[in-house]
Amino acid sequence: MPTATHCPYCALQCAQAVTPTPAGGATVAGRDFPTSRGGMCQKGWTSAAVLSTPDRLVRPLVRDAAGDLTEATWRDALDLIADRLCALRREHGADAVAVFGGGGLTNEKAYQLGKFARVALGTRTIDYNGRFCMSSAAAAANRSLGLDRGLPFPLTDLGSADTVLLLGSNLAETMPPAVTHLAEVRERGGLLVVDPRVSATATLTDGGRGIHVRPVPGTDLAVLLGLLHVVVAEGLVDTAYVADRTEGFGEVCRAVASWWPERVEQVAGVPAYQLREVARRLAAASPHLGGRGAYILTGRGVEQSSQGTATVTAAIDLALALGLPGRVGSGYGAVTGQGNGQGGREHGQKCDQLPGYRSISDPAAREHVARVWGVPPESLPGPGPTAVELLHALGTPGGPRALLVHGSNLVVSAPNAHRVVDRLRSLDLLVVCDVVPSETALLADVVLPVTQWAEEEGTMTSLEGRILRRRKAIEPPPGVRSELWIWSQLASRLHSAGTWDVDPADVFDELARASAGGAADYSGLSHARLDAELDGLYWPCPATPTGALDHPGTPRVFLDRFPTPSGRARFVAVDHHGPQDVLGPDTPVHLVTGRVLQHYQSGAQTRRVAELATAQPSPFVELHPLLALRIGAVDGDLVAVTSRRGRAVARAVVTDGVRPDTVFLPFHWSGPGSANAVTSDATDPVSGMPEFKVCAVDVRLASTAAPGSAVDGSRGVTVPAGGSPPPGEDGMR
């Protein structure tokens, strides 16, 4: 019988029906659902292939004296981990053990991992790869709107709008089914896309009906300041809304006064007339001027920046000036990327957070959560370092000596990857839980095989804040365990206080109690209730005062008030300073990074799917014909892209879809084509977000470039650029 569940990849969480096969695998089919409408992308349709990939991890692996990963029993592997952790904590203190989580973990796992770090390990040193995803949008939304929910409205609302301004998001390749919700907007000529590339999404502007804005990479903030300048200067502000529902507008008006369109044109390369046209279209679509509605959406392209929080803040300021947030049919939202990027940041993986989106520094929050956990509030550690700071500190004097990695492939996905590999190699203990031998797992001292999406129960929270049930459809291979079981076993060996349930439904019930009264309140939910709601329910969804689980959920937030002390949204003045890397004689070209349709995140899963690997087998560098002519490159040549941090080599794709001053390199591969060997680990001062999306590079034919090292993450194991280790060389087959 088919099992109703959801895709393992992005935060759109397309609905699937998974049917077991006699051979132990599964088939997938689309299932009707509001966001995906029965569809999936190539990754979703082929997702079952990862369940039976030939190099699936099925037994614990421990590195032996010769440096090889060899099979071990669960008892021996867990005893080894516990003994080493205890010794390191005795010698160096609790913070000598660090934890790194992932935005693909279920809500139950994200919650239990945060609890495990703070209670069983007693460490403050925990963060997760969502720091690389939504941290800037979250920081901006929290300070301006009082709440971070990626889309504070259902995705289906987009179809009723006259205009959607999409900044830094290539939905057509990252979340193809989501594009169906833009069809009516496109038909009205209202799709406005800001992207330096002619991405698949940018082509949907239809060459004139919509508008494609192509700024200099790293100048999106200047564009937004210019748009707000036009709205203010031309009297397009929703003055009644600003007076009734916001505060701080005067300071923002003064800040944008100096960003007139002609100045923005000089900084961002966007024609002044185009800026005025975009601002006027947004205003005309806004309710106060009689339009059907307008939305402003941001994505990683503008958020993964050292000024990412400021950029999102400027987008929110623009939306507030037009009276969009908190109105049905209009609004601001951030397009969450990872499968549980929303839920993963709500329940305790972030370095400064407790479940329910509570601050770990808030005494009342600590008291509430400690009571649920059955520990004294004073025993909980305080806030720790953000992800990049954590990675930089690994193995340094006074820094963590051990790292536990859950649901993240740092060797490929972290910025300045050479530095990350060096730090990982300096550790006394690296433990990785994974389903395949990822590049990070190949560096580990202990590798633990864990269940994946179709083999487990749990919940996920989509980009809309919709809480969904993940259901078990097939049995995992013998020898594979859930992280919930692993943490329970380790907690016992570490003589931890508290209870450590292994049933996801029981863990969710505890999560619900811990979240009660928080911004992300799940206390009105349970697995049983969600099983009866095939479309899921939106948070906040609190239990009623009598404890009943009958709250309808909150599809749209901000309709009555903003969850700030005053009940008003806050305008916040920001200014543009540009990326940390500055073009110069040695690095005269911008590098921008992103995704391709066939692959997901670090590619650890999708590069193992034959259909996807065949369609997009290797990394590539997009460069403009003028740049190609200057360096003497043609399609297929190997091109070296070199920054101050490292070098990547990939085949050239010559296209006028990129600017003459810019190259594009996708980030799904390790080895010589690793984009993150080149990217900058400069961070946003507010969010800690790394500046993945733009850096300064030199570009030339690989045959004329200086030699450089590759990032493959292995210890004496060759990892091909296309994916998994060759048979017989990984100690596992």
Averaged over 440-456, what is the pLDDT? 97
Averaged over 698-703, what is the pLDDT? 96
What pLDDT was estimated at residue 626? Answer: 98
Helices and strands (H, E) in the chain, number of each type: 23, 28
Averaged over 465-479, what is the pLDDT? 96
CB 475 within 8 A of CB 455: yes
What pLDDT was estimated at residue 698? Answer: 98
Pairs from 200-208 (Cβ < 8 Å, separation ≥ 24): 200/170, 200/172, 200/173, 200/597, 201/166, 201/169, 201/170, 201/171, 201/172, 201/173, 202/170, 203/172, 204/172, 204/179
Average pLDDT, the chain: 94
Distances (CA, A) of 304 to 165, 172, 592, 599, 644: 18, 19, 11, 19, 19
pLDDT band at 704 (very low <50, low <70, confident <90, very high): confident
In order of start, what are the domains of the chain with their CATH numbers? 3-52 (2.20.25), 61-133+340-522 (3.40.50.740), 135-335 (3.40.228.10), 589-704 (2.40.40.20)
Averaged over 496-511, what is the pLDDT? 97
pLDDT band at 684 (very low <50, low <70, confident <90, very high): very high
How many Cα atoms sit within 13 Å of 629 on the Cβ side? 7
> pLDDT tens digit string along 361-409?
999 999 999 999 999 999 999 999 999 999 999 999 999 999 999 999 9
CB 193 within 8 A of CB 173: no
What pLDDT was estimated at residue 714? Answer: 47
* DSSP per position, 103-165: TTS-HHHHHHHHHIIIIII--S-EEEGGGGTTHHHHHHHHHHHS---SSSS-GGGGGG-SEEE
Closest residue by Cα to residue 446 from 86, 55, 70: 70
Averaged over 335-339, what is the pLDDT? 90
Q: What are phi and psi of 670, to 5 degrees?
A: -100, -165
Query: Whole-angstrom Cα distance, residue 314 to residue 54?
Result: 48
Residue 728 predicted with pLDDT over 90:
no
What percent of the chain is modeled with pLDDT above 70? 96
- Top pLDDT among 725 and 710 is at 710
What pLDDT was estimated at residue 711? Answer: 60
Mention every residue, 6+ apart, whose C-beta is less than 8 A from residue 239: none
What pLDDT was estimated at residue 238? Answer: 98
Residue 715 predicted with pLDDT over 50:
no
| Three-state DSSP class for residue 444 | coil
Residue 347 predicted with pLDDT over 70:
yes
Distances (CA, A) of 362 to 145, 365, 380, 447: 19, 5, 12, 36
What pLDDT was estimated at residue 467? Answer: 98
- Top pLDDT among 279 and 719 is at 279
Closest residue by Cα to residue 5 from 195, 14, 461: 14
What pLDDT was estimated at residue 337? Answer: 84
pTM for this entry: 0.95
Query: Whole-angstrom Cα distance, residue 219 to residue 593?
Result: 15
Averaged over 183-197, what is the pLDDT? 96
Q: Report the DSSP beta bridge partners of residue 516.
A: none
Averaged over 453-461, what is the pLDDT? 97
What pLDDT was estimated at residue 340? Answer: 94
Q: What are phi and psi of 400, to 5 degrees?
A: -60, 140
Q: Report the DSSP beta bridge partners of residue 593.
A: 665
pLDDT band at 710 (very low <50, low <70, confident <90, very high): low
Averaged over 315-328, what is the pLDDT? 98
Token pair of 620 as six digits:
């590539």
> pLDDT tens digit string along 58-88?
999 999 999 999 999 999 999 999 999 999 9
Query: Environment class of residue 258 by beta-carbon count within 10 Å: exposed (0-12), middle (13-18) or buried (19+)?
Result: exposed
What pLDDT was estimated at residue 730? Answer: 31
pLDDT band at 207 (very low <50, low <70, confident <90, very high): low
What pLDDT was estimated at residue 544? Answer: 87
pLDDT band at 723 (very low <50, low <70, confident <90, very high): very low
Averaged over 653-679, what is the pLDDT? 97
